[in-house]
Amino acid sequence: MITVHHLEHSRSQRVLWMLEELGAEYEIKRYERDPETRLAPPSLKKVHPLGKSPVVVDDGRVVAESGTILEYLARKHGKGRWAPAATSDAYWDFSYWMHYAEGSLMPPLLLRLVFDMVSTRSPLLIKPLAKGISAQVGKAFINPQIRTHLDFVESHLDGRDWFVGDRISAADVQMCFPLEAANARGLIGEQRPNIRAFVDRCHSRPAYLRALEAGGPYDYGPA
């Protein structure tokens, strides 16, 4: 039995989605965020030293990091359907998007979230200064980076439904989360219809909806 250590409103939702697509048996151990810091609870450190989610335990093996988890599940339980063979040309496209999602696309989105929190949660006396700094950093660096990455993804999805080949793979499950997060924050807009259509395709899949029901609170799902 696969155990998913699942944090609400987090990347671990896509692990549940992957498992539902695979038809694998699993159980969920749920964790709630700290209401003040929005961080994972300390109890997750008993599972993995970093105290982050998702973490999967399968046959005694502890697997962390979303991309590693998804590829592990796809290769072990996907019967060749959810990840291309490592000897194929498609593997390198697959590997690119598996790494790109967290290595390139998520950092500016996370920076935007952090600076927004700084500007809204700072003490009253320094709040105007914090807002000013946040606005300047956003204008000079964060917002241009977000536009560059979203325009790149929009261009890649032009004329295609999925990121690699002509059918869904673990790379799409991996890429969905940052695009969901961007969409939830109003960053997709009408000028990026390919991304919006991709997110809608993900949200319409029965396995995605089953995972949403199983996982509990999730800010980035269908409206």
Q: Please, what is the average pLDDT of the chain?
A: 92
User: Is the CB of residue 163 less than 8 Å from the CB of residue 156?
Assistant: yes
130-144, 152-166, 174-188: segment of lowest average pLDDT: 130-144
Higher pLDDT, 36 or 122: 36
Residue 92: Cβ-neighbour burial (10 angstroms; 0-12, 13-18, 19+): exposed
Q: How far is the CA of 161 from the CAs of 47, 88, 148, in angstroms?
A: 36, 21, 21
61-65, 131-135, 161-165: segment of lowest average pLDDT: 131-135
Q: How far is the CA of 213 from the CAs of 18, 20, 77, 93, in angstroms?
A: 14, 11, 22, 31
User: Is the CB of residue 69 less than 8 Å from the CB of residue 14?
Assistant: no
Q: What domains does the chain contain, in order, with CATH numbers? A: 2-77 (3.40.30.10), 90-205 (1.20.1050.10)
pLDDT, tens digit (0-9, with 9 covering 90-100), for 122-132: 677 677 766 77
pTM of the model: 0.92
Write the CB contacts of 10 (distance below 8 Å, at least 6 apart in sequence).
33, 40, 53, 54
pLDDT, tens digit (0-9, with 9 covering 90-100), for 84-118: 999 999 999 999 999 999 999 999 999 988 877 76
pLDDT, tens digit (0-9, with 9 covering 90-100), for 37-65: 888 999 999 999 999 999 999 999 999 99
pLDDT value at 196 more than 80: yes
